[in-house]
Amino acid sequence: MGNDGGSIPLRSELVKLKGAPQKVAETATANNEHAWKYCALSRAALSEPLASDALGRLYNKESIIRYILDNDAFGDVSHEIPHIKKMKDVVELKTSKSQDKFICEVTRRDMNGSSKFVYLTTCGHVFAAEALHTIETHECLICSKPYASIDIITLNPNESDRELLQTRLEGLEAAGLTHSGAPAKKEKKRKAGAIEDSKDRKSQRKTIAMPSTTKEQGPRSAVLNSLLHKTDDRIAPDGFMTRGTSSRVG
């Protein structure tokens, strides 16, 4: 009899129980590595130019173009990305490479899943999350373009980060905006109102980049500001969120 009064487990059962968690971990690691090496749509090796959607998946830009022209180009895989309907639903990434490996231009870390990586929807530049966490600024470390916390997208996110990105996506859709910040639908211009329409679109982009400085609180800016307050946290490299003192600087 066993120590608990029950039957003695067979050796094969012990080996099976001991090896199961390890097998799951190995599978998860393999899937994670695959996500950093291959296009989530075509399954081809990632090659510049890269693009990413609102949920942080990595794609070859060429694959996205093919998909938009023909939704059935990649078979059943296409059904996994119903939120991508046009090029404005993705952001072209500005990446850096060293010896054929994608890296963070600031920290020089490899973009391979060993460290958390993010990109900015305002400009497309990619960084190791620790770069944005360490250097307190709300301007891109490379091009100096302003951004807000809502513009920081985690690449190949874990479950908790994925939920935040899904919430962000739903908020943008409710505001009539795409992942890139552009209007979801292009409004027809009238000659008399062409200038005003142009100003409205610029105002929408500013609302995303600098939400706390926008005085007017229309339906779209109100939704975005509400979403920003929920997710306006600095992204730490370990995956946890740390509360910032303000949503914008300057």
Q: Which tokens hold the place of 229? A: 């307050």
Query: What one-character DSSP code corresponds to residue 66?
Result: H
- Report yes or no: 152 and 215 within 8 Å, Cβ to Cβ: no
Give 223-243 as a DSSP string. Answer: HHHHHHHHH-EEEPTTS-EEE
In single-letter form, the type of residue at position 227 comes to: L
pLDDT at 150: 93
Burial 65-102 (b: 16+ CB within 10 A, else e): eebeeeeeebeeeeeebebbeebbbbbbbbbbeeeeeb
CA-CA distance, 75 to 97, in Å (whole number)?
A: 31
Q: The domain 35-185+204-243 is classified under which CATH number: 3.10.105.10, 3.30.40.10, 3.40.50.1000, 3.30.2020.30? A: 3.30.40.10
Q: What is the pLDDT along the chain (250 residues), one digit of tens a residue?
A: 455 555 555 554 444 445 555 554 444 555 688 999 999 999 999 999 999 999 999 999 999 999 999 988 998 887 889 999 999 999 999 999 999 999 999 999 999 999 999 999 999 999 999 998 888 789 999 999 999 999 999 999 999 999 999 999 999 999 999 999 899 887 555 444 444 554 554 455 445 433 333 333 334 444 444 544 444 444 444 443 443 433 333 3
pLDDT at 127: 96
The predicted model scores a pTM of 0.68
Q: Locate the domains of the chain by residue range.
A: 35-185+204-243
Angle formed at CA 106 by CA 103 and CA 107, multiple of 5 degrees = 70
Say what angle helices 159-174 and 219-231 make with each other, to 10 degrees: 170
Per-residue HEC secondary structure of 165-225 comes to HHHHHHHHHHCCECCCCCECCCCCCCHHHHHHHHHHHHHHHHHHHCHHHCCCCCHHHHHHH
pLDDT at 210: 32
Angle formed at CA 119 by CA 115 and CA 125, multiple of 5 degrees = 115
